[in-house]
């Protein structure tokens, strides 16, 4: 009877749009579970964030779908919708947890980890930067044991999600550019340069300075999203769109891309806000395979727990911080650890929560503006964005002329006369990396995991994957030059320490616990000081801007720069890897089809599956993940229907 009802509902979904009066919204968004149209769904999506709403939108074209989001619906919140709201402004969607203490200049330092908790998730609070992974990065993901995830396979999914608005003639004159062949022009997510272009004079000075600092080894590119951004600098677009009615730019969050617009309404889609999924309801077959049959749901503020049934699949999209916790509370994870919490193991999968990564940031870097340069073409006035110019430095750029050799495999027959001391050190840090620290804290399941990832990382650097990113932010009183390491090798974990779902898990990224990560950040800090000291960018700053900023001077010792880095760095908020897509014997959690190993119908489709930090900023890449996941899920449903 249940199968008949589900098949009937799927047919009903297909024909109902023709029966609806024009203009009647189809998607149901509620915060009262008693108003749910169904108690059983083809698909339940756990989390209404960046990827969750995208996956749900695609599935609901043909199937019944429920999204459960613990945060609120903030459709009219102007601080979220206005892309020019100062980055970091408090909002009802911006939350943070107390991460585990991290290494600092005086022992340990506290680390707050920010995340989005509303419809749209991180895409509703982030800096909007239109960054993409690279050819080398995605090919490294594929080489880790994930066929079909290389650049050539992945690019079409990013294109499918996107409606790119090319720069107009004025913007092109001011420095904006693009490559049409790498973009999409009919997807839900608006991507464009701001109208008008933000701080064009500052952008020009930033690009010219980067080129001169590196003697034109870093060159201009028309488009940082073409897969080959290493060694290049350019003006950057953002995931924003121009609203003709309001005559202003607006944030292209996943909510405003896949959920709210009239063209994205779905009869089969229900969204329940203000509720969290505590755990999955599963059955285990005689062969040991696990099947999800429902989810346990509770109001976020507390209250009665109830169960909703699922007939096809559960898709977990709660993000790299929270997806592992949901699996662990469901009995999926390290069995020994779960038993210690009183949880009956359902599936022994030690990789759940391991391999957690984040990119360390140097963001507290502001240079006072010369009063004579306090003009809109330099500051952006009231309409500013982070990352209007971005530079991606390769190992050659960041580490000097020997940078690439320092990443090559060390030949033990070579003497120190043949190979610089730096090359020997860098080799031991990357090609021959020690996994002892990561293994001891649970950052990896076995040593070979980090050794393999390090080798693939070094391979990517050899073909000019960027090693560090610099981005320029104009403001009314200061100009900011921020930096991040793109492919850190430090590995941490996400782990619950209580069965109470209202409690945050332990989140420990183990920032800068690998020496190579420290050295790369030291190199990044030195580049920041060079940029601030070099014209034409330095001409925009006050005479003592570098000293006033606190950034070590160009002649500072390595130890002085290191201590400054350790005292200054913050979380990048680009969390990935905690349910990694890689072979199970390396500690992987999901297959290349994003199916949790040992299960028949539990998928994960969020940042937690990305095994390496190949997304300089995660949002546009994650839309590609969502589009690919939805296609795989729909194809399976069609294959099963044809086999009946």
Q: Give the DSSP H/E element, type plus range, for residue 368.
A: strand 366-368
Structure tokens at 394: 């390769």
Reduced to 3 states (helix: H, G, I; strand: E, B; else coil), residue 520 is helix
Known catalytic membership, residue 241: no
Measured over the CA atoms of residue 36, residue 32, residue 629 and residue 592, the dihedral's sign is: negative
DSSP 25: -
DSSP string, 405-451: GGGSPP-TT--TTTS-HHHHHHHHHTTT---HHHHHHTS-SSHHHHH
73: Cα separation from own chain's centroid: 22
Which of 282, 292, 291, 145 is CA-nearest to residue 588? 145
Annotated binding residues for FAD: 50-51, 277
User: What separation in angstroms does the CA of 106 have from each of 432, 435, 519, 550?
Assistant: 28, 24, 18, 17
Q: Judge contact between 315 and 51, C-beta under 8 A.
A: no
Structure tokens at 40: 């059983």
Cα angle at 496 between 494 and 499, to 5 degrees?
160
Q: How far is residue 119's CA from residue 312's CA, in Å, rounded to a whole number?
A: 24
Q: How far is residue 40's CA from residue 310's CA, in Å, rounded to a whole number?
A: 5
Q: How far is residue 188's CA from residue 61's CA, in Å, rounded to a whole number?
A: 14
Contacts of 381 (CB under 8 A, 6+ apart): 476
User: For the chain, first and last CA: distance in Å?
Assistant: 16
Q: Give the DSSP H/E element, type plus range, for residue 63.
A: none
Measured over the CA atoms of residue 47, residue 49, residue 53 and residue 59, the dihedral's sign is: negative
Q: What is the CA radius of gyration of the chain?
A: 24
Which of 333, 341, 330, 335 is CA-nearest to residue 307? 330
**Active-site residue, from 241, 275, 392, 617:** 617
Residue 365: cis peptide before it, omega within 30 degrees of 0: no
Q: Is 128 left (phi over 0), alpha (psi -120 to 50) or beta?
A: left
Q: How far is residue 407's CA from residue 461's CA, in Å, rounded to a whole number?
A: 7
Phi/psi at 561 (nearest 5 deg)? -65, -40
Known catalytic membership, residue 574: yes
Q: How many residues does the chain have?
A: 644
Phi/psi at 104 (nearest 5 deg)? -140, -175
Q: Judge contact between 264 and 59, C-beta under 8 A.
A: no
Q: Judge contact between 522 and 382, C-beta under 8 A.
A: no
Which of 378, 538, 396 is CA-nearest to residue 464? 396
The partner residues of 281 in beta bridges, in order of sequence, read 294
Which of 354, 332, 321, 356 is CA-nearest to residue 279? 332
Q: How far is residue 104's CA from residue 36's CA, in Å, rounded to a whole number?
A: 49
Residues tagged active-site: 574, 617
């Amino acid at each position: 009877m249940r199968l008949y009802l589900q098949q009937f509902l799927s047919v009903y979904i297909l024909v109902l749009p023709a029966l609806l009066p024009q203009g009647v919204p189809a998607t149901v968004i509620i915060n009262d579970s008693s108003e749910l149209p169904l108690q059983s769904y083809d698909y339940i999506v756990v989390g209404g964030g960046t990827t969750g709403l995208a996956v749900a939108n695609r599935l609901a074209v043909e199937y019944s779908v429920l999204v459960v989001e613990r945060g609120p619906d903030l459709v009219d919140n102007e601080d979220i919708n206005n892309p020019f709201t100062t980055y970091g402004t408090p909002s009802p969607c911006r939350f943070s947890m107390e991460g585990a203490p991290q290494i600092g200049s005086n022992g340990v330092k506290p680390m707050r980890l920010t995340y989005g908790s509303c419809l749209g998730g991180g895409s509703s609070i982030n800096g909007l930067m239109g960054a993409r992974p690279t050819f080398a990065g995605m090919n490294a993901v594929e080489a880790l044991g994930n066929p079909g995830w290389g650049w050539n396979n992945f690019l079409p999914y990013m294109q499918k999600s996107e409606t790119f608005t090319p720069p107009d003639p004025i913007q092109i004159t001011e420095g904006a550019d693009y490559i049409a062949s790498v973009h999409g022009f009919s997807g839900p997510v608006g991507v464009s340069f701001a109208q008008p272009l933000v701080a064009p004079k500052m952008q020009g000075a930033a690009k010219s300075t980067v080129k001169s600092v590196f003697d034109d080894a870093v060159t201009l590119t028309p488009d940082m999203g073409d897969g080959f951004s290493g060694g290049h600098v350019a003006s950057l677009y953002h995931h924003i769109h121009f609203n003709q009615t309001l005559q202003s730019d607006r944030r292209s969050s996943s909510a405003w891309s896949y959920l709210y617009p009239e063209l994205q309404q779905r009869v089969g889609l229900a969204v329940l806000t203000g509720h969290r999924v505590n755990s999955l309801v599963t059955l285990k077959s005689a062969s040991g395979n696990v099947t999800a049959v429902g989810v346990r749901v509770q109001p976020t503020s507390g209250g009665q727990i109830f169960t909703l049934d699922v007939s096809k699949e559960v898709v977990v999209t709660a993000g790299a911080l929270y997806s592992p916790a949901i699996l662990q509370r469901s009995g999926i994870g390290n069995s020994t650890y779960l038993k210690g919490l009183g949880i009956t193991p359902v599936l022994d999968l030690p990789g759940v929560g391991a391999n957690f990564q984040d990119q360390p940031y140097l963001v507290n870097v502001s240079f006072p503006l010369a009063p004579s340069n306090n003009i809109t073409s330099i500051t952006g006035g009231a309409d500013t964005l982070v990352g209007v110019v971005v530079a991606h430095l390769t190992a050659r750029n960041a580490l000097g002329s020997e940078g690439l050799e320092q990443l090559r495999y060390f030949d033990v027959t070579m003497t120190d006369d043949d190979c610089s001391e730096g090359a020997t050190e860098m080799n031991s840090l990357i090609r021959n990396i020690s996994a002892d620290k990561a293994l001891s804290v649970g950052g990896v399941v076995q040593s070979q995991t980090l050794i393999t990832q390090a080798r693939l990382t070094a391979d990517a650097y050899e073909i000019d994957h960027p090693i560090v990113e610099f981005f320029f932010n104009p403001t009314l009183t200061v100009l900011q030059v921020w930096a991040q390491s793109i492919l850190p090798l430090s590995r941490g974990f996400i782990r619950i320490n209580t069965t109470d779902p209202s409690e945050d898990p332990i989140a420990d990224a183990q920032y800068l616990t690998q020496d190579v990560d420290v050295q790369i950040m030291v190199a990044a800090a030195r580049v920041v000081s060079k940029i601030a000291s070099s014209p034409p960018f330095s001409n925009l700053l006050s005479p003592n801007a570098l000293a006033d900023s606190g950034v070590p001077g160009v002649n500072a010792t390595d130890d002085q720069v290191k201590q400054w880095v350790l005292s200054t760095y913050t979380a990048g908020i680009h969390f990935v890897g905690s349910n990694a897509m890689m072979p199970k014997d390396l500690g992987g959690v999901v297959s290349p089809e994003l199916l949790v190993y040992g299960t028949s119908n539990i998928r994960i489709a969020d940042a937690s599956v990305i095994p390496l930090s190949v997304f300089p900023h995660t949002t546009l890449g994650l839309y590609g993940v969502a589009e690919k996941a939805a296609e795989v899920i729909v194809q399976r449903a069609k294959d099963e229907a044809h086999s009946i």
